[in-house]
Each structure stands twice: as C-alpha cells, then as structure tokens.
Amino acid sequence: MTNYAWISVLLAAGACGGPPKAEAPSGSPPTATSAGLTAAAGDHAQDVGTVHATVRDAAVPEPPPPEHPFAATPADATNLIDTAVDARVGELARCVEAARIKRKNPHKKISVKIGIDEQGHLMGVEAPPGEPKDPDLYVCVQGALTGANFPTSHAGIITVTRSFEEQAVYK
C-alpha cells in the first residue's frame, strides 16, 4: 500500500470512530494484527483500529534466472547442451525408466531428439528418425528439461539426439 493509501485509511478510520482496538494476548509482543494504531490529529490522539498486513505486501522478488552461456561454435553448443542435460540426469532417469517399463524391456536403449532455439530455450522433444513414437516419454523429458540452462547461439534452432542406454563395464 502506498503512503497515500495508508493516510486515507487512517483518516477514514479516525473520522468514523474506527473499529474497537484489538487486544494482544497477555505476555505476547504486539503484532500488526493485534496492535491498534493511533493517529495524531492536532493535539488529540485517536484510536484508528487494527492494521492487517499480509506477506503478499512484502513479497521478496525471486532472483533473476542465470544467463544462458553463448556457444560460438557447434562444438561449444554440443558441449554446453550435454552439460545442461547432464544436470537433469536424475529427472531424466525417471522418464527413461518409465519408457522402458512401458516397452516391457528394462534394458532398452531410449533416444530422444531435443530442439533448442537460438535464445537457449527448449523448443520441444520428439522421436529421432527410426525410433518408435512415445508421446508420454516426450512430455516427461520436456518437463525434466524445462528451465535448463541451454546455450544461446547464432545458429538458429539446434537439435541434438540424446540416447540413454546401459553399458557393460569390464574391469
């Protein structure tokens, strides 16, 4: 509320006598909802009632999102995109696991094609050529990658194919 609005509230409440003063419970400090305000009008002080404040009035703004890194070359773009996708690997693993269960193959290689515009925003997720269509997988992957810090570039829309597969490790 602006200062002018507070003055109007104080004057209006004082002019009509205002509501009765709310009493704070004994032993507790006064709060904005329990303490009456007093306005000085000439030499006379008048009770102008209770003020009710909300957290919404004093909301703290969210910090700005991080700046997208700039990819000067296709190799830079690939590396920065891989880094952004790797940062979401936990969320992506749930999507891949659900797709494997749906396909009834717990070790199936899962591939998706990811599109990013030149401002570094996720455009969409779809099947790479030759892969079966799986709209549930694409919605899940898009949700997992929404807000990822993809790079900006001068290359227009960049598409990358990302595959998730199990690999044997030999020692």
Residue 108: φ, ψ to 5°: -65, 135
C-alpha distances in Å from residue 94, one per residue of 61, 71, 128, 136, 143: 32, 29, 20, 12, 11
Q: Give residue 2's pLDDT.
A: 45
Residues with pLDDT less than 70, the chain: 1-59, 63-66
Cα gap 138→109, rounded to integer Å: 15
Strand partners, 135: none
Q: Give residue 90's pLDDT.
A: 93
Judge whether 127 and 94 are in contact, CB under 8 Å: no
Q: Give residue 71's pLDDT.
A: 83
Q: Give residue 19's pLDDT.
A: 47
